Structure 1
């Protein structure tokens, strides 16, 4: 299969891209196997979505130069001027590896496409370059997915908060969110009568949501530039949160993803429902047995 963008039906269930609840203007930019909804006022993505076929992932060399997307006005994108001479990295939202599946050529083209500025957001270097939990979440979900074809859809973006600190004309996001979704797609398609293990005769959708906080790290960068006292460097923290909480925090319509939450109490809101993660074994990717 080849897809020219994020594909809502990739999991055998219709899963639309999360979109802003406030109806703000966004520019929808499509790339091989992924899409970006760009907020031209904030100059950052409000949502990205990528489809991953884990069974045909390719390990292609890292190649690509960061570039502005000519389909969007240059002033609507956070370009190279944001990242020069500081400790901020161009952090991939859709990971370079995620759309890199199919044939070798398809994987090469798709991974190179991830180096577009609408697919980047400022991330403190010690966050983006680390081998910590956040950067391995997709791999962990792929390993868990019980569908034979290991299909996963992943949505990622910064939380665009009104209180994000200004820096070089851009408000730098302090938090990032991610939702991973998967289902038993091949099992459903393999049955002669079209009957699957889903309760309504369709594939079973599951989803897990995560939130990462880089507040302490961003404060260090912006304070050092302004000459203010630099706070102690705190480690970034990663949480598993109810999917519906992402809708609340980021102001997004998460559609069917909320009902597919693997947490046993997805209706709970607030920090009391957040599970801080330290190692992959802390992640919950299946509902507890009754």
Structure 2
């Protein structure tokens, strides 16, 4: 008898419908549900194309790390990046759904959620320095949850690497240069009305650090050229730009974006990205 699957990410957790973004081109993905989160795995790239997690700030629990990384037996091993890619190098298993985010609810539920985050479909290769030193990137959920506390102490967060066609190959896997994140929460509701969705989007780049782990040159960048975004720079970006970068259908998240920017008038989209040095610079 097949064990029941955890329900995963809840589309109506915020009261306003927010689904995990699907590829707009209809490419095949594997939907993997866990406690309070879902991973959409691209079997061709062996990495997640999107993840979604529900965070209930009023019920969060502090639990120890397990670090028991493992393959998900529900999909073939050759459809997910496993331990071999991370062995004897400077790559970290970078959590996509942050370990602490789904760890809420009853003790046994929180324990399972904590364990669930250590499956390889919920990881992406990150340069070790990138993963360990980006307090701003890793702290975005905390900051936004505090903001959302004014309303409902609930947050839904979507995160994944940008799976670009020219990502540098390493041990049979394209190593992502960029990572994206969209956080959503509900405001209101107005008297007699429905909750209103609010969202913000972010991009972070690890391009400069990939050179430090001896990835082969993919020929697209000459030695000495500046990286596209610079080292470890975090940007708040229009969510519509994330849709363009990723090829994902971000649905109502685009209209809910709190970053107001003028329509592009022939200027590259990155020229309207808001570089962040601290959370105080986030536009909400």
What TM-score results when the alignment is normalised by the length of structure 2? 0.89
Query: Once the 2 structures are TM-superposed, how far is the Cα of residue 246 of structure 1 from its aligned partner?
Result: 0.6
Match of 2:234 in 1: 238
2:181 is paired with a residue of what secondary structure? strand
RMSD across aligned positions (CA): 2.2
What CA distance in whole angstroms lies between the structure 2 residues aligned with 1:6 and 1:223?
Answer: 35
What TM-score results when the alignment is normalised by the length of structure 1? 0.88
2:212 aligned with 1:220: yes
1:70-109 equivalences in 2 (<5 Å): 70-109=73-112
2:124 aligned with 1:121: yes
Distance 1:103 1:75, change over 3 A: same
What CA distance in whole angstroms lies between the structure 2 residues aligned with 1:4 and 1:159?
Answer: 26
2:35 aligned with 1:32: yes
Deviations 1:34-67 (A, max 9, x none): 0000000000000000000001111111124000
> Contact 1:39–1:45 (CA<8 Å) still a contact in 2?
yes
Match of 1:8 in 2: 11
What CA distance in whole angstroms lies between the structure 1 residues aligned with 2:244 and 2:134?
Answer: 29
> Contact 1:220–1:230 (CA<8 Å) still a contact in 2?
no
Match of 1:288 in 2: none
1:30 is paired with a residue of what secondary structure? strand
Match of 1:197 in 2: 190
2:235 is paired with a residue of what secondary structure? strand
1:109 is paired with a residue of what secondary structure? helix
Match of 1:282 in 2: 281
What CA distance in whole angstroms lies between the structure 1 residues aligned with 2:10 and 2:40?
Answer: 14
1:258 is paired with a residue of what secondary structure? helix
Query: Once the 2 structures are TM-superposed, how far is the Cα of residue 147 of structure 1 from its aligned partner?
Result: 4.5
Distance 1:265 1:60, change over 3 A: same
> Contact 1:159–1:177 (CA<8 Å) still a contact in 2?
yes
2:257 aligned with 1:261: yes
Distance 1:205 1:267, change over 3 A: farther
Query: Once the 2 structures are TM-superposed, how far is the Cα of residue 132 of structure 1 from its aligned partner?
Result: 2.0
What CA distance in whole angstroms lies between the structure 1 residues aligned with 2:259 and 2:79?
Answer: 37
> Contact 1:175–1:211 (CA<8 Å) still a contact in 2?
yes
Match of 2:185 in 1: 182
What CA distance in whole angstroms lies between the structure 1 residues aligned with 2:215 and 2:110?
Answer: 40
Structure 2: stretches of 5+ with no match in the other structure: 1-5
Structure 1: stretches of 5+ with no match in the other structure: 188-195, 286-290
Deviations 1:257-288 (A, max 9, x none): 00000012275470122001111111112xxx
Deviations 1:48-94 (A, max 9, x none): 00000001111111124000000000000000000011110000000
Deviations 1:83-114 (A, max 9, x none): 01111000000000000011222111101100
